[in-house]
Amino acid sequence: MFNIKALSEWKNEEVEGLFIGLYEGEKNSSGILEEIDAALSGNLKQMLKDNRFNGKAKEIFTFHTLGQLKAKKVYVVGVGKKSEANDEQLRSVFASLSKALHADHLQNAAIILDSFENGEEDFEQLSYLLSEAIELTSYKVADYKEKDNQVEKHLEGVTLFTNEEEQSLLEELQAGKVYGSGTNLARALVNTPGNLMTPTDLAKTAKEIAELHGMEIDILEREDMEKLGMGALLAVAQGTEQPPKMIVLKYQGKKEWNDVLAFVGKGLTFDSGGISIKPSLNMHEMKMDMGGAAAVLGAMEIIGQMKPEANVLAVIPSSENLVNGLAMKPGDVITSLSGKTIEVRNTDAEGRLILADGVTYAKHLGADYIVDVATLTGAVIIALGEYTTGAVTNNEELMEKLLYSAYESGEWVWRLPSFEPYRKMLKTSDVADLNNSPGRPGGSITAGLFVGEFAGDTPWVHLDIAGTAWTSKGTETGPKGGTGAMARTLANLAEQFE
């Protein structure tokens, strides 16, 4: 898809669109803008002036060359102030560039990479950010409407013009594409309707990833869970005819199976709330309650392609939470795989139940570090909105690694407190070891700490993506719906374990 050519060759490229960056207040973009303007008889700069285009971030001006250049159109992309051009700003700028590229249905394009250089970012990072943005913005939510006969055009090739060394840039371009495609996989899983994304369907996707990348896979059925005593997952699964699955993927990048990083993803493929039923308004969006599982599978897809020298375990407890005559009831007491008993005060607090068995099983399989990912609480949306993932941890070192990975991936994570009074709230049942829903105050904290009870002393981080896994409106890099949140952060974390 990508190829690299010397900067001086830009005039010879026959493409549908030529993109050049312009920093705010700059006039020549390393001299290339002057060359383009000269080839266009001075019309480009005059048009920029007439339209008061000054390079503000994410603004794009399009100019038809009318045969004066081999490129059919020139796109001048505002990059903003050079002093503010960090990763976050460049991600936004490249997302705008990529959206324009896809919106105009370009099949081939060229980009003057050097025009986006600011003296701080290296060209490898620029290449990665650009490629990732092109991939992320290419995603469209699948629909099931009747199709017309119009031929769809897709981007086939992008040429980058730069004087930098080719091979290192190509590696970063490929990495950006891989990270973007893994995120898009997670988005697609989240956006799939609940009748088409059951625990069985989720297991099928995991199997496809495993077979494609040579990973070991094991899928536990209901009978296996009963033999092992996975009472928490089985209690949630009582209320549905769909069989539950405990999905396990193993990626072994080291000779010995040690120093194992485990990802545990909540795989609730549809959540009605059970007997503690949710309001009907917007319940159709609860197909997204397997966003944690989607993030884990997206990360495993990335890991399978990047092949880090690390050992990664993925554990996905999966079920539906519906209502039938066997569904668990408020007041029920269940016994988890760990042996801890749980009083069910709220059947809509089911995610922490299936994660309890998922985390315990990850420990049985040799996990040395655990990160669980879940669309766990509405409380985290009240606290942090749709923009930031909430985190709870028992280990400073692992938390710092994850925060660094999130920063590198352009995903925001905020650590929540885990002081002792919050832990005591979990022990307020008169009949069981734990209360699955001790009340609204500190709800996202107590939910995370509930899962942490099953991690024990194993270094552990909990990520609540209830706000970030789904967006009610389109973002810079994608449409409304599933976001693929945390897929890139998890994959980046795995690469830190090399």
For 462, list phi and psi in degrees, rounded to 5.
Answer: -110, 135
List beta partners, residue 321.
Answer: 271
Q: How far apart are CA 104 and CA 102, in angstroms?
A: 5
Among candidate residues 266, 287, 352, 401, the one labeled active-site is 352
Q: Coil, strand, or helix at residue 347?
A: coil
Q: Which amino acid is at 312?
A: V
The C-alpha atoms of residue 207 and residue 214 are separated, in whole angstroms, by 10
| Distance separating alpha carbons of residues 165 and 205, to the nearest angstrom | 38
What whole-number distance in Å separates Cα of residue 270 and Cα of residue 321? Answer: 6
For residue 63, the cross-strand partners are 74
Residues making up the chain, counted from first to last:
498
In whole angstroms, what is the distance from residue 393 CA to residue 387 CA? 20
- Name the amino acid, one letter, at 417: P
Using CA atoms of 160, 166, 169, 175 in order, give the dihedral in degrees to the nearest 10: 100
Of 222, 278, 329, 423, the active-site residue reads 278
Strands (E) in 288-377, as ranges, are: 311-321, 333-335, 341-343, 369-374
CB 93 within 8 A of CB 78: yes
Q: Tokens 């995120």 map to which residue?
A: 183
**What are the DSSP calls for 13-43, one per residue?**
---SEEEEEEETT-SSTTTHHHHHHHHTTTH
Number of helices (H), then strands (E), belonging to the chain: the values are 15, 20
Q: What CA–CA distance (Å, rounded) separates 305 from 492?
A: 13
Distance separating alpha carbons of residues 221 and 267, to the nearest angstrom: 14
Beta bridge partners of 471: 481
345 is known as an active-site residue: no
45 catalytic? Reply is no
Assigned token pair, 104: 């105009």
Task: Please identify every residue annotated as catalytic.
Answer: 278, 352
